[in-house]
Structure 1
Amino acid sequence: MKKCFIYSIALGFIWCFVSGNISPGNFLIGTILGYLLLRPLRVLYDFEARDSLVVRLQQIPKQIKYFSKLIVEIIKASIAVAKIIIQPNIDIKPGIISVPISAKTNVGITAIANTITLTPGTLTIDVSDDRSTLYVHCIDIDDSDKVRDSIREELEEYVLEAFE
């Protein structure tokens, strides 16, 4: 509960800066809205976890590395999709593949699924009931093992490092 309140205060500050009105009343509104936003998300993020500030600060370089890798992957995938679109005869083999994942937390699974979806040409469709497999639609699958390995080695590794 204490962490949820602290995050609400941080969202209150963000609200002030985004709205362009830095005042006590606006801060209070932002804090209340932040708390109301965080309440339903309690099941996704464990506010009762005993993570120290040092652990959180140590994750920042890993998260920067993840976001850098994500940007590179988005650019590479965008170029690949653009090549497919520009071709006079579109010869693609769309399909759905299953990708086993190592993430165990809700945040890790959500981060991997969203990372896949943000990458052009791929879309996370579902998570298995046991939360060990993602089902991913790909615009072009020449070799499903290659695509699966690419997701596991190039994306999941960075997500696990940054968020779990």
Structure 2
Amino acid sequence: MKKYVPLAAVFGIVWCFLHGTFSLNSLIFGLLIGLVCIRPFKFLYKPESNFKLFSPPSRIISIMRYFMVLIKEIIKANIVVAKIVTKPKIDIKPGIIAVPIRCKTDLGITGIANTITLTPGTITVDISEDRSILYVHCIDASDPDAVRASVANDLEKYVLEAFE
């Protein structure tokens, strides 16, 4: 139960933000709600052994770097999708591309899959049985190698730094 208390504390802080009142009573109430919410679903929450809620400063910097790269990639992808959509003749070749990944933990795989899905024009469709390949639907899959390189170089290396 001790390992769920820090997560419940995060619930308490989130409750304070949602409620709009930052007081001890509000924090304690949020903490209790967090414990009540976590308890029935504890079998679903299996934290990775190498990921801690309160990370060292180097991990925090890596996570911040990841979010900055994510925002940059979302903006770039929005511009590309806007160019595609505003052309008088849409000349795209949508398709599904197999993208090999280096992430091994559940958190890392979820991070890269969600990062790909958050980027406009792409969506993660499936993962292979051995968890080494993501299947990604792209709005323009005319150059699959460029998509694979973009995922490996622009996204995955930051996910690996931040979450693995």
TM bracket (short chain) = 0.7 to 0.9
Instruction: Specify the code of the residue in structure 2 equivalent to 1:126.
Output: D
**Structure 1 Cα separation of the partners of residues 27 and 34 of structure 2:** 10
Equivalent residue, structure 2, for 1:113: 113
Structure 1: state its 5+ residue gaps.
none
Checking the alignment, whether the CA contact within 8 Å between 1:16 and 1:30 is kept in structure 2 is yes
**Structure 2 unmatched ranges of 5 or more:** none
Give me the CA root mean square deviation. Answer: 2.3
Name the structure 1 match of 2:150.
Answer: 150
Local SS of the residue matching 2:92: coil
Equivalent positions of 1:28-67 (< 5 A) are: 28-39=28-39, 40=41, 43=44, 45-46=46-47, 51=52, 55-67=55-67
Query: What TM-score do you get using the length of structure 1 for normalisation?
Result: 0.88
- Answer yes or no: is the 8 Å Cα contact 2:48–2:105 preserved in 1: no
* Matching of residues 1-164 of structure 1 within 5 Å: 1-39=1-39, 40=41, 43=44, 45-46=46-47, 51=52, 55-164=55-164
- Separation of aligned partners in 2, 1:51 and 1:95: 37
Cα distance change on mapping 1:68 and 1:23 into 2, 3 Å = closer
CA 1:66–1:122: 2 relative to 1, 3 Å: same
Whether the 8 Å contact between 1:12 and 1:34 is mirrored in structure 2 is: yes
Distance in 2 separating the partners of 1:103 and 1:50? 14
Q: 2:29 & 2:72 partners in 1: Cα distance?
A: 38
TM-score normalised according to structure 2 size: 0.88
Moved more, 60-69 or 34-43: 34-43
Of 57-66 and 18-27, more deviation after overlay is shown by: 18-27
How many residue pairs are counted as aligned between the two chains? 163
Structure 1 distance, partners of 2:162, 2:65, is 8
Shift of 1:81: 0.2
Aligned-residue offset at 1:49: 5.4
Q: Contact 2:77–2:121 at 8 Å: present in 1 too?
A: yes
Give, in whole Å, the separation in 2 of the partners of 1:50 and 1:134.
22
